[in-house]
Each structure stands twice: as structure tokens, then as C-alpha cells.
Amino acid sequence: MAPFLAFAAVFILTVIDPFEFESVTKRQSANIFYKLYATQYPTRHRDSISVVLLDDEAVNTRFETWPPSHLLHGDILAAIHSYNPLAVLVDIYFIRGREGDHFDRMRAVIDEYNVPEKRVPLFMVAAGPSTRALQAAREEILWLAYNDKKIRLVSAEIESEAGESAQYPATSSSLKPAAVAIYETICKELKDSERPRGTTCATLDQHALEKFEVVWGLAPAQFNCRRASTTEYHDVCRELNPSLAGRAMQLTLEAAVPRNRRRTDPMPLPYHPTIAANDILDGSKRAMLAPLLTGKVVVYGAHLALVKDEVFSPVHGSIEGAYVHAMALDNLLTFGDQLVHRGAGHQTWRKEWTEFQPTALMLFVAVAVGLNRWRILRKYPPNEWHHRAKEDDDRFLRLMWWFLVITVMVAGLVEFAVWGISPFNWLALIIVVHIAHRIEKWFFKPEAWAKSLNAPAIRA
């Protein structure tokens, strides 16, 4: 019965989850998986998307107060438009107007985006995490979107829990999610020659796919590595090991290093090319920035001390919210509708069916170990139970241990690659099985059974 006690422990800890053990280990399992998978993430669209960040330096240089006026926003968007990008997403909320905020400058720039010979699709976020429709849009924005039809409103709503990769919606009750709207525009409105090379266009099944898990790339854009040469991160790109085995070894070694002294975990440099707002406004840098902006999708966001718009990336740690839209769009352009999502859509006891896999595997192991022990007790005479029976049992337990490890890895990869299901909680299974194995060995004492069951024979 000892293996079934171990099975009961796995069931209680991973399904009932009274101590939130399953929740924590599931998050860590996914994070470890994505840190390793990031080395295999295709980089073909990494340089097709660029991020422009409005930072405190740009605000101070223009002698602006917080929040900055649309004179600054307008100048930045006009500078971006001058490079003739493929599309532009403004990931900054314009909630309400105020006196002297120069919205006329913004309106004039939006007119430039709609000139027929230089028309560039302009997307503006107008709904945030609260899911209330248009909760962040000022009246002038609504007018430009619905009456003049010069801009397209999108939602920036995402599900991002602490320490967990962001869940990006494929559909929304109010507005289309930002990355999905840009992806559909690229696939439906642009010719093949105008799209980023290697784009995978597919129709997203809104019924089957409500949201997907953002998968992050590891190797930062070369532009970011060159810019890092003048900062404290100048050696990071050189030290980064891009191979799967090398990255695994690197993460293992860095696990012993305090977090604030780690060089590449979490990765301190962003994946997509990142340009400071001051560089966009500096006309002398056009030759350097043109390859990053011309014909590219540009996400305009903020990195300001007073604005905490951050999400969690298993690869990069806490990172600006603009990057989650860039990475979600990268996922769509790379994988089409073959995205990673949570579970298979079927639930029991408010648990996805995939979350019962550790319990199902442990039940199989419990039955196998129980039958093997029944065989052992019938095979060996009582005087050999103490040594040979235990050796036989230990061999079988080692076999079951490797069976579990290999099955977990193969099943996780198959689910991820074939069905697009987020890898299940292998860490909980391995920890619980290891502890259960140590504990249940206390119960399996065949020599004691020999003395109790065969006492009459021994006396005779």
C-alpha cells in the first residue's frame, strides 16, 4: 500500500492544493521551460519590430512637466512617420485633455499618417486592464477614431500575474487586442511583398483560442548589444550562451549567484531593437536608425519613473509593457495560429484536465510498484527478503524514476509543439515523487513481514 500513499500525496498536493504548492511549482516549471526554450525561439521577426521609449531624459530635455504635452508626443510620432514604418502602435493612454496640452499638434501629425501616398496605419490603445470599454480614451481620440476614421483604437488588456508569463488575449469584449489588430492588418491589408519576410498568416479561431501565453526570445537585437557597449551591460551579449545545453549550464551556475549580481538571468537587454525618444528626435542619427524603423512595426511606449507599466517575462524579468505587445506580435508573425495556450478547455473541480497528469502518472507508477512488490514477495523465500528483495525493489524504483522523468519531458514537449498547450507541472511531480519515495521506503520492510508472516515456520 505504500505506493498508493505516495499517489494520495501527489493528488492532495497537486489537485486539492491546500498549501498552494502546486501553484508555485507550476509557475516555476513554466519559467524554467521558457528560459530554456528562449534559446530556440526563431529570430526572423526580431528586427521587424522596434520599440521606441519615452523616458525621463526626453521629458527633461524638452522642459516638459508630467504628464508631457502632445507637443512632445506629436514630435516623436512625426519623427517616426518620417522613416515610413509599416505600422505604429501608441502604447500610451491619453485619458483626458487639459489646458495647453497642444493636442492640435497631435491632430496634425495624425493627418500626416493619413496622407494617401505616405499612409501608415496608426493604432492607439484605449482600453486597459480593467476591461471597461474605452476607459482611457479622451473625446478627441474617439472622434478621430469613429468619425474621421484616421486612427484605430485597440485594447492593451493583458493578464499578467507576478512571476508568471503574460496571458495575451486573442479576442476582447470591447476592442481588438493591440497585437492581434496589427497582425490582422498586416495579413489582410498588405501584399505579400509588403509584409515582413517569413510572416505566417492564419485566421485566429476566436472560439478555440481566447488567449495565448507569450513566449519570449532570448538573443537581444544587435542594435541593443551595440548600445550596451557604453553601459554597465557591455559584456552581457558576449557572455550570453545561446545554445540550449550552454544556456542550461549557465542558468545552473548563475543560480548560486545573488540575483542583483547575475549577468544574464534575468536577461538585462530587451529582445527587440529599442530606441530612446531623444535619438528619434535627433536628426543626426537618421542613418543609424533608418534600418530599424523603415518598413518596420514600431511600438511607442513609456519608460518613466512616474509610470509603472511593467509586465513579467520569464527571460527578462520585470520589463516595460510595450515589450509584451511587441513580443505577442512576434509570436503571431512567427507561429500564426499555432500559439501556446493554457489547458485544453475541459475542467473538473475547476482544474484543467492537463493538471491531472501528475496524478495520472503517479497512479500508474503506484500500480506498477505495487504489482512488482507482490511479485517480489512471492518470488523470494523469506530469508532473502531483507537483501535480494530490497535490491530488486530498488532497481525497479530507479526504473520508474527515469520513466517518470523521460515521460514528463517528452509529454511536455509534445503538448507544447503539437497541441500548443503550456507545459504541465513537472517540477511538482518530480519533487513529490522524490519525497514520497524516501518516505514510503520506511513502510516497505520485507524483513519485518518475513518475521510476522512466517513466525510459525521459523519456530518449526
Residue 73 has pLDDT above 90, yes or no: yes
The Cα 437–Cα 439 span in angstroms is 6
pLDDT band, residue 349 (cuts 50/70/90): low
- 8 A C-beta contact, residue 323 and residue 77: no
Residues 81, 122 contacting (CB under 8 angstroms): no
* Helical segments of 173-269, H only: 178-189, 222-228, 236-239, 244-254
Judged against a pLDDT cut of 70, whether residue 86 lies above it is answered with yes
Q: Is the pTM of this model over 0.75?
A: yes
Question: Count of CB atoms within 10 A of residue 28's CB?
Answer: 16
Residue 456 has pLDDT above 60, yes or no: no
Q: Are 136 and 126 in contact (CB under 8 A)?
A: yes
Please spell the DSSP secondary structure of 305-372, one letter per residue.
TT---EEEETTTEEEEHHHHHHHHHHHHHHHTT---BSS-S-EETTEEGGGGHHHHHHHHHHHHHHHH
DSSP structure string for 165-196: PPEEESS-SSS-BHHHHHHHHHHHHS-TTTSP
Give the tens place of pLDDT for each residue, 195-225.
999 999 998 887 678 889 999 999 999 999 9
Q: How far is Cα 19 from Cα 434, in angstroms, rounded to an integer?
A: 18
CB-CB contact of 404 with 436 (8 Å): no
Question: In the chain, what are the domain boundaries?
Answer: 2-24+346-459, 44-221+270-335
Residues 6+ apart with CB under 8 A from 48: 196, 296, 297, 330, 333
Question: How does pLDDT run across 20-71, given as a tens digit for each residue?
Answer: 777 788 788 888 889 999 999 999 999 999 999 999 999 999 888 878 899 9
Q: How does pLDDT run across 261-290, given as a tens digit for each residue? A: 888 999 999 999 999 999 999 999 999 999
CA-based nearest residue to 446, from 397, 376, 398, 371 = 376
**How far is the C-alpha of 92 from the C-alpha of 71, rounded, in Å?**
14
What pLDDT shows up at residue 353? Answer: 66
- Please say whether the beta carbons of 135 and 175 come within 8 A: no
Using alpha carbons, select from 96, 86, 87, 168 the residue that is nearest to residue 123: 87
Dump the DSSP string for 130-143.
Answer: T--TTTT--HHHHH
Angle (nearest 5°) at CA 172 between 168 and 174:
140
pLDDT tens readout for residues 164-180 = 888 899 887 678 999 99
* Mean pLDDT of the 151-168 span: 86
